[in-house]
Structure 1
Amino acid sequence: MSADVTLEIDCRGLRCPMPVIELAKRIDEVEVGDLVGVVTHDAAARVDVPAWCRMKGQEYAGEDDADDGAPRFLVRRIV
């Protein structure tokens, strides 16, 4: 896990819409300004996570890879 990711949500094996539902349930676990990583192989997350951020007023901070190479979508809590 990257040093600047405060919370990593493991959604490997979960399909749409579960990664975004898990993100919504857990975003309040971090402080405003902290970074959350959603790790998932679900291809829909590439669209769903940025869309969720726009709808909820959070910042989509891009994509990188988890330690095992799985896609990780980054969200900075703004509100």
Structure 2
Amino acid sequence: MSDNHPERETRLDVTGLLCPLPVLKARKRLEAMASGSVLSVVATDPMSAIDMPHFCTEQGHVLLSQEQQGDTLHFRIRRK
């Protein structure tokens, strides 16, 4: 039997916040989410491009995607 349930995805907007706040807010939101859920993070701090992947690696979360659209960074993270 296959699992046909769509991913549960939550959006977190941390635009305008500077390091370390985007990662800290992502961590807090992920802690409140079920394992396997996906968090979509939108940030404007350029350091997030370095900090968010590092955070995921350190905490065991999966960084599903990372892309830049103009001045905005978009991350999709699957909670461990």
- The TM-score, its normalising length taken from structure 1, stands at 0.80
Larger radius of gyration: 2
Distance 2:51 2:8 in 1: 20
The CA deviation at 1:30 is 1.9
Deviation at 1:63, TM superposition (A): 1.7
Q: Which runs of 5+ in 1 are unaligned?
A: none
Shift of residue 29 of structure 1? 2.4
Please list every run of 5 or more consecutive structure 2 residues that lacks an aligned counterpart in the other structure. Answer: 1-5
- Normalised by the length of structure 2, the TM-score is 0.79
Q: How many residues are aligned here?
A: 74
Give the 4+ runs in structure 1 shifted more than 2 A: none
Query: Could you say what the CA RMSD is over the residues aligned between the two structures, in angstroms?
Result: 2.2
Residue 18, structure 1, aligned to residue 37, structure 2: no
